[in-house]
Structure 1
């Protein structure tokens, strides 16, 4: 039984929504950030980059406090309003290729603790703590954790009913997406949504493992510091975007490695031959068509690598995942990469980017070899989570990627 609650969002005035909303900070180039900060006074980037006001780069705890200061200024200038009644928020994104729709709500940190919200990816402790400290100072969530659930006809009916009404927000972005947001605050609809999620035994984190872990840490710390803790405090929940499994778009990450760990090209290929049948495709671009097949670009040529299943033992769900197979049979033993998160010899490119980018970066000499694979399925992700296992980092690139600043979840930390 999962607890998904409506909340009173802080959000932009209708006329300013498209100007306030922003992608994640990391998704912009430095030049794009400078241009937005210079020409758009309403952008949420002014809050995330508070030092711009003083033309000074600010880090650490001082930056956290200034993020809060900029946020309070936006509220004082009436760029933001706060809803008077708790609500769910229906958020739809339409691109040239596809569309998706889900519900923004408050998810339970207790459900995260009790594994009712299941995880499939490892987190880094210092990043969890850093973001927990950030949340404690600023007092709000603005980037939802992406949670997924099995397709549900009753929730679909509610979504269809709400979408038949006028959207609270409707605006286009420079990458030719159209964003819609509806507020759901009718008691009957609120109860229908709440009841449907209460009947679900589990939800799964699709994207946002560090955000959910940090929110859980904050809830634990706040609970310990509050002698009058009831469990109903806002810090017991975190901002989430709930989307059905059929609405998810899962892409793979390709791996790029700077060198061959002291091996010549010939020695490297001979070692690969123990576990893979290798075919040289020359300049013909090759992309895998089935599981346990990999593509490789090395020294100006494309290769296909087919796992020799007679020489590999499948066990739990993790052992069947292509990112894990590549790590255990190539990256770790041959290329000497133990720490996939922190080793500077390895980089990642998500599968939305063309294989030609991998070729270009290797041809430039930035890397020596690159590997690609098919994306994982939602079934594989859920099986791994159900077995309590964690995938290698950068195993999935999952969409949708939401804009920040449209629905802000506030909590008070005393």
Structure 2
């Protein structure tokens, strides 16, 4: 029987090596940053997740030699006893702490079949080139090393088991360079494993928060391996993908802000007049961070403004069009600034909320950008509503923090 999730025999750092191995996700560092980060760290998981750092600087990061080097580095770490695979399938509790924020989730193998039927719900388009990269990485390593970040809707049974599991002695407890703490506990108890599996089987859906390319790649690998396996029975490990699943109410989405290079030929006065057609505009004293949906901060000419979209412009019944990122795009960025395709237009850039409003001021004050907008963060409920409707979020709608670490648990394929 196919379950929504199942336990697996994780590949993990051997005792004493977790701090040496744990690394930022492969896609949050440039190759140059990763080369610096691994100085004096021969066992950093970046040698597996970004193996171009061990090849000449001019190496194409998508060259066959890069994937081969990742596989070689994985074997080297196994041979050295730095990584070891658990003998029996289990679940893992995973807690991340960033400042005052804490979230505790479950490391599990999630069903590709349920991803394919959209019971594991997505909310983003993927790019074929980025999917191809992850497919080649999974095939080269014969393992999934980048976990997909998922959310589960309210489930007190799951919350209780995770709370209990995370009271004992952890298997790994790492505080990363950025001060974020990552702690892993094993869930070996047969009754707890059965309860967790059943609790997820009872859920109507779980939701991808981050990792759309990793999950899409896992689906492609599974389809290829199924086609090549005359004995395929659905139980093979390639039918599942590495995931960390948090309760939706514990997850932290930060604002994802916008900056533009120019005012589309308008003077400051003309621009403010155009904005005022669909928003109320008030100058603010100091930085203005929106406190509720429908409210925006705007930084222009050294001054912060508070914008509120006219209430009659909010299409309450449409889960995508009512998002703040859509309201700003459809009522200001496209009609006033002439940026209709924010995915491709070079006049717009995006700034993660982790960088703060000072970063928006810096980009505008330097003359690089003409105007900046601070948004209220998208909620998990909004994300789930979009996914439930089978729709996709506008680009750069969500910035999840804290990020998962790579290397603490990986999923080996058959």
Shorter chain as denominator, the TM-score bin is: over 0.9
| Mapped partners of 2:404, 2:103: distance in 1 | 11
Other-structure match for 2:39: 38
Other-structure match for 1:371: 373
Other-structure match for 1:213: 216
Cα distance, 1:314 vs structure 2: 4.3
| Aligned residues of 2:314 and 2:327 also touching (Cα < 8 A) | no
Q: Secondary structure at the match of 1:352?
A: helix
- Out of 74, 77, 92, the residue aligned to residue 74 of structure 1 is 77
1:186 correspondence with 2:189: yes
Counterparts in 2 of 1:69 and 1:31: CA distance versus 1, 3 Å: closer
| Aligned residues of 1:2 and 1:116 also touching (Cα < 8 A) | no
- Out of 111, 116, 140, the residue aligned to residue 114 of structure 2 is 111
Counterparts in 2 of 1:26 and 1:107: CA distance versus 1, 3 Å: closer
Q: Secondary structure at the match of 1:100?
A: strand
| Aligned residues of 1:2 and 1:200 also touching (Cα < 8 A) | no
Q: Deviations over 1:156-187 (max 9, x none)?
A: 22223322321111232333333221111222
TM-score by length of 2: 0.93
Cα distance, 1:56 vs structure 2: 4.1
Q: Secondary structure at the match of 2:73?
A: helix
| Aligned residues of 2:342 and 2:348 also touching (Cα < 8 A) | yes
Q: Secondary structure at the match of 1:367?
A: coil
Cα distance, 1:152 vs structure 2: 2.1
Other-structure match for 1:143: 146
Q: Secondary structure at the match of 2:138?
A: helix
Other-structure match for 2:134: 131
- Out of 123, 138, 144, the residue aligned to residue 120 of structure 1 is 123
Query: Which structure 1 segments of 5+ residues have no match?
Result: none
| Mapped partners of 1:386, 1:325: distance in 2 | 20
Query: Which structure 2 segments of 5+ residues have no match?
Result: none
Q: How many residues align?
A: 411
1:198 correspondence with 2:201: yes
1:346 correspondence with 2:343: no
| Aligned residues of 1:74 and 1:80 also touching (Cα < 8 A) | yes
- Out of 287, 290, 313, the residue aligned to residue 289 of structure 2 is 287
Greater mean deviation of Cα atoms: 23-32 or 362-371: 23-32
| Mapped partners of 2:54, 2:321: distance in 1 | 50
1:162 correspondence with 2:165: yes
| Mapped partners of 1:379, 1:50: distance in 2 | 37
| Mapped partners of 1:228, 1:345: distance in 2 | 53
Cα distance, 1:377 vs structure 2: 1.6
Greater mean deviation of Cα atoms: 339-348 or 50-59: 50-59
Q: Deviations over 1:179-237 (max 9, x none)?
A: 22111122222111111111111101111122212211222222223333221121111
Cα distance, 1:27 vs structure 2: 3.6
Q: Secondary structure at the match of 2:382?
A: helix
Alignment RMSD: 2.0
Q: Secondary structure at the match of 2:341?
A: coil
TM-score by length of 1: 0.93
Other-structure match for 1:250: 253
Cα distance, 1:32 vs structure 2: 5.2
Other-structure match for 2:318: 316
- Out of 402, 405, 414, the residue aligned to residue 404 of structure 2 is 402
1:230 correspondence with 2:239: no
Other-structure match for 1:19: 20
| Mapped partners of 1:150, 1:398: distance in 2 | 17
| Mapped partners of 1:230, 1:88: distance in 2 | 23
Q: Deviations over 1:68-103 (max 9, x none)?
A: 111111111111111110111111122321211111
Counterparts in 2 of 1:335 and 1:66: CA distance versus 1, 3 Å: same
Greater mean deviation of Cα atoms: 207-216 or 33-42: 33-42
Q: Secondary structure at the match of 1:319?
A: coil
Counterparts in 2 of 1:382 and 1:54: CA distance versus 1, 3 Å: closer
Q: Secondary structure at the match of 1:148?
A: strand
Q: Deviations over 1:367-401 (max 9, x none)?
A: 11111121122221111111111110111112331
Q: Secondary structure at the match of 2:39?
A: helix
Q: Secondary structure at the match of 2:75?
A: helix
| Mapped partners of 1:318, 1:2: distance in 2 | 31
Other-structure match for 2:9: 8
| Mapped partners of 1:268, 1:197: distance in 2 | 51
Counterparts in 2 of 1:363 and 1:17: CA distance versus 1, 3 Å: same
| Aligned residues of 1:150 and 1:245 also touching (Cα < 8 A) | yes
